[in-house]
Each structure stands twice: as C-alpha cells, then as structure tokens.
Amino acid sequence: MSSVADAEAALPLPPAAGEPVRPPRRRPRRRPSDQAGEGGSGGAPRPLAAKALVALSVGVVGFFVAAQLGTTRRSPEHLAAESESDLTRIFASLNEESAALRDEISQLRLELAALQSSAERDQLARDAAERQLSDLQILAGVVPARGPGVAVHITDPKGAFEFQLLLDLVQELRDAGAEAIAVNGRRVGGTTAFSRQHDAVTVDGQEVQQPYDVLAIGDPATLEVGLRIPGGAVDTLDALDGTKVGVERRSDLRVPALDHPPAFKAAHPLE
C-alpha cells in the first residue's frame, strides 16, 4: 500500500558501518502566542486586543465601584469626583442660593428693624400716655400725691378768718404752681367749694376747724415766694386781728385723694 510505503520511506535509514550515530534533530516547539497568531485570519495580533479588552473591563468596573462609593463619601470627596462642567453647575447653583439667602436675610433685617422701631414708638407713646394720665389724675385729685412743697399753718383764736381768705390762699398757691393741695387733710380739686356754715369754714360741705393746715406740693421756693408777695395772702392774714400765719418748706409732703371724685354728666371727651 502506498501509504505504508511512503511511511517507510520517510523513516531514517540506519547509519552505515563506521559512521557516527547522530541524534535525531528535534523540531522547535512553538509558543502558544505563535499558534494563536497562525490561527488568525490575517488581522491584528490577539494579545493587543486581549489587553484592550481587559483594560476596558477594569475601567468599567472601576467606574461603577467609584460611583457606588461616591454616594457614601463626604462632600469634598464627592466634589473631587465631579467633572469640570458639573462643578461649574454646582458652583453656580450655590451662588444663586447664597444670593437668595442674603436677600432674604436683608429683608428680614429690615422687617425686624421696622418692628423694633414700631415697638419703640408704641412704647414711647404708652409711656407718654401713662405720664400724662398720672399728671391728670394728680391734678384732678383722684389719686393721692406725694412730693416736696410748703406747709402753711394758720391760727385764728378770735375767729376773724373767713372762707374767702382760704379761697384766696388756695388760688395763690395754684398760681405759684402748686400741683396738689389739701386743707386739714381734705384734698382740694377743680370742683371743690369753700363756704361758711354755722360760723365755721367748710370745704365741700365739711367743716374744718382752726388751726388751719394747708399743704401744697410743688417747688417749695416758688410757692413760698408766691405767698409772700407784697399785698398777697400772707400779708392779708397777718393784718387780721390775732391771726398768725407761718410758711415752712418741706421736702416730703403727702396729700390724700378726693373723698368723692367728680362725676361728669354733661361733658364728654371730644374725639
């Protein structure tokens, strides 16, 4: 058979007599990379494509790992992983939010200043109203009063003192700036009436007996000067037979409120 004959012909012949025996020549072994190259179809070598594929896979895996870790990292690390365009967008958004917050803070400060100013004005108005109310209450005699002033002591052993003289004395004290006046412990108000009944001086219908003590709250020096003007109340009282009058400055006087504050039936506040 031809195949057998060909195989036998391919076998090496035995060496001739006296010829040295040489070992058979071995064919060089091919590397796997050479075998892979020969199996190709004439394109680019496979090792380069494999390396590119591995690098791409590693890059994709690294991207997803970095994205996953980025969600749990702190803000600086997260910003470090952002692209330049994303950082620009974030920075612009922060600037807009910061500007909006500054505007809101400025508006709130203006509102706070307005409220504080309004509250201060309201407080000042309330304080002024309370002071005015206190002054009017003192002048009206509806509240007790306390302060410096003068004390006038009058003795009339012969009964020469008339209620008109007491009225003149009170009027001179008012003209001198007295803010509150009392006669023998009875407050004198705007509607107080002086008269004489049963040979006695009366104040609002109540008898007052001598000695007469008149207390007036105000500036002591001014009140005393007002009483001692020539031809004034003190001179008139000193001219009476047996009547004596003394004026003394006091640093602290107290006068009571009216026993019966006036009730107005016809007059009403004008709005």
- pLDDT value at 47 more than 60: no
Residue type, 106: S
C-alpha to C-alpha distances, 267 to 190, 227, 262, 264, nearest whole angstrom: 14, 34, 12, 6
The CA distance from 251 to 146, in Å, is 10
Average pLDDT, integer, range 172-195? 92
pLDDT at residue 98, rounded to an integer: 84
Tell me the pLDDT band of 6, cut-offs 50, 70 and 90.
very low
Structure tokens at 266: 């016809």
pLDDT at 65: 42
Give the pLDDT confidence score for residue 159 in this predicted structure: 82
pLDDT in tens, 194-233: 998 888 899 988 889 889 999 999 999 999 999 999 988 8
Fold of 145-255: Alpha-Beta Plaits (3.30.70)
> pLDDT value at position 35?
45
pLDDT of residue 219: 96
Residue ranges of the domains in the chain?
Answer: 67-140, 145-255
Tokens of 98: 């910061």
Does pLDDT of 154 surpass 80? Answer: yes
Residue 116's pLDDT band (cuts 50, 70, 90): confident
Q: What is the DSSP string of 71-103?
A: TTS-HHHHHHTS-HHHHHHHHHHHHHHHHHHHH
What's phi and psi for 111, nearest 5 deg?
Answer: -65, -40
Mean pLDDT of 160-167: 89
pLDDT band at 75; cut points 50, 70, 90: low
User: Span 246-257, mean pLDDT?
Assistant: 95
| Chain mean pLDDT for the chain | 76
Q: Which of 55-59, 109-113, 218-222 has the lowest mean pLDDT?
A: 55-59
